[in-house]
Amino acid sequence: MSIDRMPIHVGEIATRWTRREALARLAVGAAVAGVGGAATHFAPKAKRIVYIVLNGGMSQVDTFDPKPMLRKYNGQPMPGGAPKTERATGTLMQSPFAFNRTSSCGTEVSEIFPRLGGLMDECCVIRSMHTDVPNHEPSLFMINSGAIQPGRPSLGSWLTYGLGTENQNLPGFVVLCPGVPVVGPPLWSSAFLPAVFQGTFLKTQKSDPYELIQHIKPQAEPAAQRRQLNLLKKLNEEHLAARAKDSQLEASMAAMETAFRMQTEAPEAFDVRKESAATLARYGDHDFGRSCLMARRLVERGVRMVQIYYGNSQPWDSHEDIQAHKHLAARTDPGVASLIEDLKERGLLADTLVVLGTEFGRTPAVETGSITKIHNGRDHNSLGFSVVLAGGGVKGGITYGATDDFGYRAVEKRCYNHDLNATILHLMGIDHTKLTYNYSGRDFRLTDVAGNVVREILA
Amino acid sequence: MLPDRMKFLLSVAMLLSAMPLRAGSEEAARQVLAAKCGGCHGAAAMGGLRLDSAAGFAKGGKSGKPALEKLLPAVMSGAMPPGGRLKTEEIDALEKWIGEGAPWGRDGHWAWQPIGAVRAGDSIDSLIDRRLREQGIAANPRADKRTVIRRMFFDLVGLPPTEGEYALAFRDRAEGWEGRLADRLLGSAHFGENWGRHWLDVARYGEDDFSGTAMQPYKNAWRYRDWAIGAVNANMPYDRFLKAQLAGDLMGDAGLVGGLGLTGLGPWYYGISQPPQARADERHDRVDVVSRGMLGVTVACARCHDHKYDPFSQKDYYALAGVFASSKYQEYPLVSETEVARWKAKKAEVDAASKLVDQYLERQGELLKDRFAREMARYMLGTGEGLDAEVLKRWKEYLAKPEEFHPFLKAWFADRSEGHARAFQELMIGVLAEKRQLDADNRVVVEAAMKAAPKPVRTIVLPGGYRSDEDFNPGADVPSKSLERDRYVAYNRTFQEASAPLKFSAELTVKLLPQEARGEYLRLKGELDRLKTELPAQYGYVDGIAEFEAWDLPLNVRGNPEDLGEVVPRHFPTVLGGEELRRGSGRLQLAETVGRHPLAARVAVNRIWMHLFGEGIVRTPSNFGLAGDRPGNAELLEYLAARFIAIGYDVKAMTREIVLSEAYRRTADKGDQENRLWWRQNRKRLAAEPLRDSLLAVSGRLDRSVGGASGELKPEFVRRTVYAKVGRFQAEETLSLFDLPSAAVTCEQRVVTNVPLQKLFFLNSEMVAREAAALGVLLKKKGLERGYQLVFQRGPSVSEKKAAREFLKRGGSWVQLAQVLMSSNEFAYVD
């Protein structure tokens, strides 16, 4: 363990974030080299991720996990008794939505996702997801950081820590939400990883990129700024010449030049107003549609991970009335479908992983517990839910795993949150057991002490 | 027990024999054993064999043979482990270790040993120079006077010297000027600001919690920050400093209660997880901050299983966690009980009056619903006299697009006739009545269920009055009745949601109050307003902890707080002494034991060294265990720890001694050699706070006042950065950009990143623009020579002068020049 722990290494790596540089650098600073020795553990299938979180808890039986038995047993108690969730639930409730097969693979999808339903040949639906706690905060932490409590680095932080970014003029890990989802910033925290790996959070209510990104708007004319930087370079060079060689001083000078270039490149990348009206309409001209469009622009430019929260607080939390899913899906469907279509058209879907996820599912039984509410919704359910994956080395046109007859509990080929994260890391070329960071006396990893790569869904 | 002297002799012997040997082979082997064998041959003891302790090896498995004999054949043949043959280098590691006699040094580890007395003739420089000589390393020369002065200012007070301060130090040419400068700086209140902040990293100081907007921030948090700053400035002995933060309420000195903010300010997890989990996570944080923050050991690793490397058992963990389970959150008011009672009584009056107003408006709101429900058809048709404009507007919006949520307006949309409007009105009057009846019925059911619910085992009150029982959402799982779906949606759309036409918010209710109700409302409101103006601001208090029912925790099997094992009596970790901690909560005993523990002294001097040299002697400053770093110069660390104890845990004296060493004053020029033996200083990039403080200092706008409530980091906030709000929910963006650590967990050491986003701050931030504008004015007024003195404590070189002149000539402004100086490496990196 003769590791040189000079914190400086972090700085040196961080400045030279490009992949090629990382190769050389990561081999040196083992203390911070997540993927010590090589940029990846094996050839990556995916180079970037768009991870969409339908926050609040998407009901599986109304979207991607059709359950004919629910229709048969509608209004009856669940045979064998229902597992306990958070609140009181009553009898089984059929989905008010029809399911259709509109893709050649035959995967059935709810009518509330008409366009996505037609793209199932590109998608793998994992129908056997399960997690630990039927409550939003711990489950949001779980999908993001592999622990139910705060204080662990998020997936995006692990990825940028391990892989760096392909475009050093842009942040490597970007998080989009119109306002703030439940829990908020701790979800994209780098925790004990260097702060530089935390998500860059943008509130997409605004569309002017200069209002989106901190300090990106040049405060002087380019020529004046260039003049300043030339003087600065001269002063720094003289300062450096008077001292023995010091890479941190050189890195600092390089970072300033990069910052100068970022001022032009970053706003362009974030500016969805540069898209045609037709494109905007195709994605949906609202917060979520614009976020999907921005995600496409960002991954096209080499951002490692873009995470999109559907909306503020927890919009998908349909306790009262599952009909609300119809309106939520109506906004979600065009954005996600257009994103997949566009990535495919540009040849990027092959190495871009799109994840349509949620923190947990909902009960197939109607929720009856809380007073003053209508009994047409579903409670939280951590025992079974669905996640959709597309591109990035995932087999399209398949479903994986299954819940029981009523969609309550994952029973077949169960997929734990850690398994999903292990698989995501695998697609990115990382062995999830080897992407570690020594902190507080032990090696931490995203998947804690669990996680199995779901090999069956790999293309 | 052995007399101390004997312990010392023993420990020296162990140090000498064990240290060089164990570095390397044992650790490498232990890592293989833990990673590849520990799953089955750890606590699971498959085949009766444990490979995680010396005793386990000696005992062997079912075969009865010592494990050492069987280990190599088993792994070389590939028989073990079953998951796949070990790699060659892993087998080599085991072989090498066995070849060296398979040392198992957990209990003999250097950091567990007592600290001896200072040896005559030893000093920082003698111990460093001896190692350098042995290794044939030449030390850097002494840095020039300017460099040393600047270094001392930034290291000790975290600020650049003012012109006057610099001149005073520089012109002091008599022998011992460094000592006089050190004394001035150590005596400055700014020393406490800088070094208090160092401690706040360890203390994961934050002014709110993850629940963020859901809870109020801790408005008195700054009192703990000021307590820490004050304690450093008063040079409180370090053992007492630690002790006060654990048990300041039990030491008979009211001034020490301020230290309880260490745990009183959380993190508290509120309802983030179910109560047993959330409370267990809170205790975990306390175990972590005490063990890593104060003792440099990672006891928190033993939450789910025995520690993989260090001799901390899972029992040790729960023994320590029990002390915090036996303590509870407590507010300590800073005024007399009478004043507290008076304020609370007044507050209760305000709350009661406020409730009366709310209830009155709620009742009136219901009456308005009835009134406007009876006029629904008129509003739908939008005809007739005396319609309220606001309500009419809402109806228009409601009816502007075909209803897609409920079916009851279908007929109306097909034919907007009065008949259909009347039919809808009648229907909704019925729905409203039904809803009221259901609510009343449900209330009865829920109240009965709540009454019948078992009483919680323990109720905890957290900051902000948040109560947590062991039960989760009591009442939520009581089945209740509801309207049929479509009727509910119609109700919601018409009477309940924010934009519903017949939703009467308090504000709207007031507007629409009938004449006969107005008088009563104004009376109630007047009373509330009067009481409010009479309510003074709340007294200040300290967020702390206090004694609670003593509770020996049951071990949590695999860390699961709902899977309980044997009860563990509270005690200090066995290998560190194992003292019983059972008087009351055990906190006072814990505080005493921690404060005088050799590890606390070692950890403290290592951190002091780290802040002065940019790197510790042990480079894992919160982990002195087997998986941590070993001291680069062990004798130096032991010397400093012994000195620290000998001089009564005097932080300022310790700091002074290090600063006045030859080693501290060397140049920071790098070479090919590593610097583990301190042949040079380290060049340090200013951390977030001194960087911001320096910008303000050189622009002349820094407000140097000490202490007080925290402020938002807005442009008009010109106090030192230590007085800015510190969020756990959301870290301040600019400070995080410059590596301010997360306030969620105790911070071992700051990382230093170097990224373009930091440079964008210098290019385009409002703050740099503002400070550059101020500095630019100074530069223009005083000229380049004085300006350079102000910023860098030196005059410009010939070429710098030339470059600056050229810059100005070509259209650059003084303000832009100031911005360049502020963005330079010389500004951010201290030699």
Whether the per-residue pLDDT at B10 is higher than 90: the answer is no
- Tokens for B570, please give them: 């509270």
Q: Judging by DSSP bridges, how do beta strands A378-381 and A402-403 pair with one another?
A: unpaired
Q: Tell me if A366 sits within 8 A of A93, measured CB to CB.
A: yes
Distance from CA of A123 to the nearest CA of B (A): 31
Q: Determine the residue of chain B that is closest to A188 in CA distance.
A: B730
Instruction: Spell out which residues of chain B touch residue A184, defining contact as CB-CB under 8 Å.
Output: 212-213, 729-730
Under an 8 A CB cutoff, do A87 and B272 touch?
no
Under an 8 A CB cutoff, do A185 and B730 touch?
yes
Burial per residue of B49-82, b for 16 or more beta-carbon CB atoms within 10 angstroms, e otherwise? bbbbeeebbeebbeeeeebbebbeeebeeeebbe
Residue-level pLDDT at A272? 92
Residue-level pLDDT at B7? 35
For A432-451, how does the pLDDT look when each residue is reduced to its tens digit (9 = 90+)?
999 998 776 678 899 998 99
| Any domain includes A5 | no
CB-count burial class (<10 Å; 0-12, 13-18, 19+) for A453: buried
Instruction: Spell out which residues of chain B touch residue A5, defining contact as CB-CB under 8 Å.
Output: 615, 619-620, 629
B830/B682 Cα distance (integer angstroms): 9
Query: How many domains are there within chain A?
Result: 1
Which carries the bigger pLDDT value, residue B434 or residue A438?
B434
Distance from CA of B703 to the nearest CA of A (A): 25
Three-state DSSP at A18 gives coil
Query: Residue B476: which of A184, A251, A369 has the nearest Cβ?
Result: A369
Instruction: Spell out which residues of chain B touch residue A239, defining contact as CB-CB under 8 Å.
Output: 824-826
Average pLDDT over residues B154-164: 97
| Any domain includes A3 | no
Average pLDDT over residues B100-105: 70
Q: How confident is the model at residue B470 (pLDDT cuts 50, 70, 90)?
A: low
Task: Give percent of chain B with pLDDT exceeding 70.
Answer: 95
| Any domain includes A1 | no
B565/B244 Cα distance (integer angstroms): 33
Q: Tell me if B830 sits within 8 A of B686, measured CB to CB.
A: yes
CA atoms within 13 A on the CB side of B419: 3
Under an 8 A CB cutoff, do B273 and A7 touch?
no
Query: Residue B670: which of A5, A183, A246 has the nearest Cβ?
Result: A246
Under an 8 A CB cutoff, do A231 and B803 touch?
yes
Under an 8 A CB cutoff, do B754 and A15 touch?
yes
Distance from CA of A375 to the nearest CA of B (A): 6
Instruction: Spell out which residues of chain B touch residue A169, defining contact as CB-CB under 8 Å.
Output: 756
Residue-level pLDDT at B685? 94
Whether the per-residue pLDDT at B667 is higher than 50: the answer is yes
B207/B218 Cα distance (integer angstroms): 5
- The residues pairing with A366 across neighbouring beta strands, listed in sequence order, are A378
Q: Tell me if A193 sits within 8 A of A163, measured CB to CB.
A: no
Under an 8 A CB cutoff, do A148 and B277 touch?
yes
Three-state DSSP at A278 gives helix
How many contacts (CB atoms, under 8 Å) link A and B? 282
CATH number at residue A229: 3.40.720
Mean residue pLDDT of chain A comes to 86
B23/B42 Cα distance (integer angstroms): 23
Average pLDDT over residues A319-342: 95
B769 part of contact set with chain A, CB < 8 Å? yes
Is the omega angle on the peptide bond into residue B276 within 30 degrees of 0, that is, cis? no
| Any domain includes A4 | no
B480 part of contact set with chain A, CB < 8 Å? yes
Mean residue pLDDT of chain B comes to 90
Residue-level pLDDT at A372? 46
DSSP state of B112: G
For B211-230, how does the pLDDT look when each residue is reduced to its tens digit (9 = 90+)?
755 568 999 999 999 999 99
Instruction: Give which of A61, A29, A37, A19 is closest to A304, Cα–Cα.
Output: A19
Which carries the bigger pLDDT value, residue A209 or residue B589?
B589
For A371-408, how does the pLDDT look when each residue is reduced to its tens digit (9 = 90+)?
446 778 899 999 999 999 999 999 999 999 999 999 99
Q: How confident is the model at residue B154 (pLDDT cuts 50, 70, 90)?
A: very high
Under an 8 A CB cutoff, do B757 and A259 touch?
yes
- The residues pairing with B24 across neighbouring beta strands, listed in sequence order, are none
Instruction: Spell out which residues of chain B touch residue A215, defining contact as CB-CB under 8 Å.
Output: 757, 760-761, 763-765
Whether the per-residue pLDDT at B386 is higher than 80: the answer is yes
For B788-806, how does the pLDDT look when each residue is reduced to its tens digit (9 = 90+)?
999 999 999 999 999 999 9
Query: Residue B759: which of A4, A255, A439 has the nearest Cβ?
Result: A255
Sign of the alpha-carbon dihedral angle for A101, A104, A106, A110: negative
Under an 8 A CB cutoff, do B760 and A216 touch?
yes
| Any domain includes A2 | no
- ∠ CA A26-A30-A34, rounded to 5°: 65
Query: Residue B753: which of A194, A236, A320 has the nearest Cβ?
Result: A194
Q: Tell me if A441 sits within 8 A of B628, measured CB to CB.
A: yes
> Which of residues 662 through 721 in chain B touch A, CB cutoff 8 A?
668-671, 674, 683, 685
Under an 8 A CB cutoff, do B488 and A6 touch?
no
Q: Determine the residue of chain A that is closest to B622 in CA distance.
A: A440
Three-state DSSP at A313 gives strand
Residue-level pLDDT at A39? 64
| Least confident range of B407-416, B454-463, B468-477 | B468-477
B542/A90 Cα distance (integer angstroms): 47
Under an 8 A CB cutoff, do A440 and B748 touch?
yes
Residue-level pLDDT at B465? 84
Average pLDDT over residues B29-56: 81
For B608-617, how does the pLDDT look when each residue is reduced to its tens digit (9 = 90+)?
999 999 999 9
Task: Give percent of chain B with pLDDT exceeding 90.
Answer: 67
Average pLDDT over residues A103-117: 97
* Helical residues (DSSP H) of B453-551, grouped into ranges: 485-491, 506-512, 515-534
For A359, the enclosing helix (H) or strand (E) is none
Which carries the bigger pLDDT value, residue B268 or residue B475?
B268
> Which of residues 591 through 650 in chain B touch A, CB cutoff 8 A?
615, 619-620, 622-623, 625, 627-629
Residue-level pLDDT at A4? 26
Under an 8 A CB cutoff, do A8 and B472 touch?
no
Query: Residue B800: which of A149, A224, A238 has the nearest Cβ?
Result: A238
Average pLDDT over residues A288-297: 96
| Least confident range of A31-45, B467-481, B678-692 | A31-45
Q: How confident is the model at residue B772 (pLDDT cuts 50, 70, 90)?
A: very high
Q: How confident is the model at residue A7 (pLDDT cuts 50, 70, 90)?
A: very low
Distance from CA of A89 to the nearest CA of B (A): 8
**Residue A81 is part of which domain span?**
10-457
A184/A200 Cα distance (integer angstroms): 12
Instruction: Spell out which residues of chain A touch residue B734, defining contact as CB-CB under 8 Å.
Output: 214
Tell me how crowded residue B540 is: count the other CB atoms within 10 A of its CB: 15
Instruction: Give which of A341, A407, A423 is closest to A63, Cα–Cα.
Output: A407
Instruction: Spell out which residues of chain A touch residue B269, defining contact as CB-CB under 8 Å.
Output: 149
Under an 8 A CB cutoff, do A227 and B812 touch?
yes
Under an 8 A CB cutoff, do A219 and B769 touch?
yes
Instruction: Spell out which residues of chain A touch residue B471, defining contact as CB-CB under 8 Å.
Output: none
- The residues pairing with A362 across neighbouring beta strands, listed in sequence order, are A380
Interface TM-score (ipTM) > 0.90 = no
Whether the per-residue pLDDT at A111 is higher than 60: the answer is yes
Q: Tell me if A286 sits within 8 A of A28, measured CB to CB.
A: no
Q: Which residues contact B457 (CB under 8 A, 6 or more apart)?
A: B470
Instruction: Spell out which residues of chain B touch residue A183, defining contact as CB-CB under 8 Å.
Output: 210
Whether the per-residue pLDDT at A98 is higher than 60: the answer is yes
Whether the per-residue pLDDT at B514 is higher than 60: the answer is yes
Q: How confident is the model at residue B475 (pLDDT cuts 50, 70, 90)?
A: low
Residue-level pLDDT at A31? 29
